[in-house]
Amino acid sequence: MCGICGKFMFDPQSNVPEGLVSAMADTIAHRGPDDEGFYVSGQIGLGFRRLSIIDLSGGHQPLSNEDGTVWIVFNGEIYNYQTLRRDLIAKGHDFKTKSDTEVIVHLYEEYGTDCVQHLRGMFAFAIWDSVNKALFLARDRVGIKPLYYFLDKNFLAFGSEVKAILADPSVPREVAPELVDRFLTYYYVPGGQTLIRNLFKLEPGHTLLAKNGKCEIRRYWDLDFSESAIERSQHEFEEQLIELLDETMQLHMISDVPVGFLLSGGIDSTAMLSFAAQKTDKPISTFTIGFSSNDVVDERPFARLAAERYGSKHYELSISPADFAAFLPSYVWHMEEPVCQPPAIALYYISKLASQHVKVLISGEGGDEAFAGYETYRNIFWFERIKAAFGPLQKPMGLGMGLLGRILRSRVLTQYGARMGVPFENYYRSRTSSPFEFFPRERLNLYSEAMATQVDSDWSTSVTREHLSRAADFSLFNKMLYVDTNTWLPDELLIKADKMTMANSVELRVPLLDHKILEFAAGLPRNQKVRRWTMKYLAKKALKGRIPEEILTRRKTGFPVPYEAWLRSSLRDWVGEILLDGRSLSRGYFKKSAIEKLIHLNSQGANYCREIFSLVVLELWHRTFADRDSTTSLAEIGRPVIPASDLGVSQLSGVA
């Protein structure tokens, strides 16, 4: 696991300064504190920071082929590298290391840009082909590892993180208002663009080839949700899933350093631990975080139960409002994209704890996306069936639901009532975004006149429509999964997972997002994912008896953080200072009166915490990346001051 960066000048007569590449790499030192390396030759410069996981004494990067004509910088893990290495040796390739990095170099020699088809793992890499004067970038199938690039007529700069690219003074920081609107539509930024013009994300499952001043972007993998026509019994489904999980876990345990587990107290992380316990005779460390608050479910008792069952050495952590607030500016600096993900801050702290014991963490991230574990999927599936049954009476039924929702003050009834009579394709954007939520519905009323003229709501949501058009032949249920696999998963969940763990120089592995598991899950019949009101039906059936019944049957709670209560109490004054000061208002996005009203309504009990957190993150993002040099101190951003009575207590305990 590493950080990579570099610059490619399109003019062969132009030179990349070595000092520039070094400065770019310095901004991502947290991704690789163990080693650094550079390759600078004329129009190309490659930079690297290493977190040593495999082949600790070898594997230095940038790394080349036998004659030095092909160079690579690589971030990630290739889990099938040992098999690939044997095949390449049989084809006559000579290896000088035992690293998975060198496997990619020789695969490129053998297969060219199709080398990505042979890789099983998480990766983002750049290959310089000095013979063809071409730069080749690639990102793994589902976007576990990030890769950004800036493109103009003179050069292409790339990096594992945005801040590496912004270390280049020739990269302008022009904010695109239309992307601000997309953020407020989704509460994250889906698709290949970022808030900075001409600075892009290489999307999951894509490659980029830069040659002769031109860039060709190609999609090399997509998830097919066409349900398999092969008849299988329930037992065969369960047996196949267990075999696949067992194999995947075996691959993900490959490491030359200690491996630990993040326990959420849920099915997926517990299942991963159960398989791992059978693969090693070494002690396993597990980590979890919880909150002693009436506002959220405390996950710790269920995590302890799993740790006791599988004999791990267990560590727990809880954080206070002060911890949460103190990290907010750094949260934005590490995340680099505005994302409404309060649980990410909890992930940072638990990763920090884990870094004292292990270099690699395994989590159950991805199980709900693969096997449909979110209530949203079940609810919308049955809702659409109910809509069809009402036929021409959908709109009157919707009006009745909306009225009842207002009487009962039920946000769920109100939103589902509004969807009556609205085609699925017109309201489904992704799992966490709906046109009936506050920002998608009301954000235009918050905008200043100048901002309102610069946004186009249809364009902001076009990213979902593009995915839905590709999913036209899938069932309604699978359309939801396809959209989320291409938006919510890489641009919200996986950004959080990578950035918060790498902030602490810890590698996070996500076995349930292995593409073999995703392909298997995508082809399952719908009733193996959701059956009646049971979500993740197949996973629960297959894992019955393997994990504790209390965990298997508990209701899903996500990764709860009591940030809503904190925004209304300990952080309330600071929120007002951030959103209403002259610096924030001078950006011209919002009307001051509208923001004042939103803050007031939230303090009076209306739940606009998600919206307020998003606005705070957006402003801190501007202060971090648009206003200033992102490589300097964070002190000037504005840290909240917490009253002593609200500090709370941070607790840490180890359970043998």
C-alpha distances in Å from residue 352, one per residue of 124, 359, 505: 24, 11, 9
377, 530 contact by CB (below 8 A): yes
Quote the tokens at residue 540. Answer: 């629960």
Angstrom distances, CA of residue 408 to CA of 15, 353, 386, 414: 67, 43, 21, 10
Q: Is 115 an active-site residue?
A: no
Q: How far apart, in whole angstroms, are the C-alpha atoms of residue 269 and residue 554? A: 14
Q: Which residues of 462-500 are buried (b: 16+ CB within 10 A; e: fewer)?
A: ebbeebbeebeebebbbbbbbbbbbbbbbbbbbbbbbbb
Between the CA of residue 67 and those of 38, 91, 205, 302, 567, what are the distances in Å?
18, 17, 30, 55, 59
For residue 21, the number of C-alpha atoms closer than 13 Å in the C-beta half-sphere is: 27
Beta strands in 87-143 (DSSP E): 121-129, 134-139
Question: Cα(266)–Cα(284) distance, rounded to whole angstroms?
Answer: 18
Within 484-582, strands assigned E span 507-509, 530-531, 534-535
Nearest to 553 by CA among 564, 563, 540: 540
Beta carbons of 151 and 108 less than 8 angstroms apart: no
CA distance 441 to 434: 9
Q: How far apart are CA 621 and CA 467, in angstroms?
A: 28
- Joined together, the tokens standing for residue 159 give 């990096």
E strands of 360-502, at which residues?
A: 360-362
Residue ranges in 523-591 assigned as alpha helix (H):
537-543, 549-552, 563-568, 572-580, 582-585
CA 654 to chain centre: 29
Residue given tokens 């019955």 in the structure block: 544
Provide the token pair at 20: 């520039």
Tokens 């590709």 locate to 470
The answer to whether 100 and 125 have CB atoms below 8 angstroms apart is no
Return the H-helix or E-strand segment holding 268. Answer: helix 267-276
Report the alpha-carbon distance of residue 246 to residue 131 in Å, rounded.
Answer: 42
Whole-number Cα distances in Å, 285 to 251, 306, 511, 523, 548: 18, 12, 17, 34, 19
Please name the helix (run of DSSP H) or strand (run of DSSP E) that holds residue 74, with its range, or none.
strand 70-78
Rounded CA gap, 626 and 113, in Å?
A: 35
Q: Is 227 helix (H, G, I), strand (E, B) or coil?
A: coil
Question: Look-up: residue for tokens 């021409």?
Answer: 392
Instruction: Pick the catalytic residue from 2, 5, 115, 340.
Output: 2
Is the sign of the CA dihedral 624, 37, 44, 140 positive or negative?
A: negative
Contact 68, 41 (CB under 8 A): no
* SS3 (DSSP) at 95: coil
Q: What is the set of active-site residues? A: 2
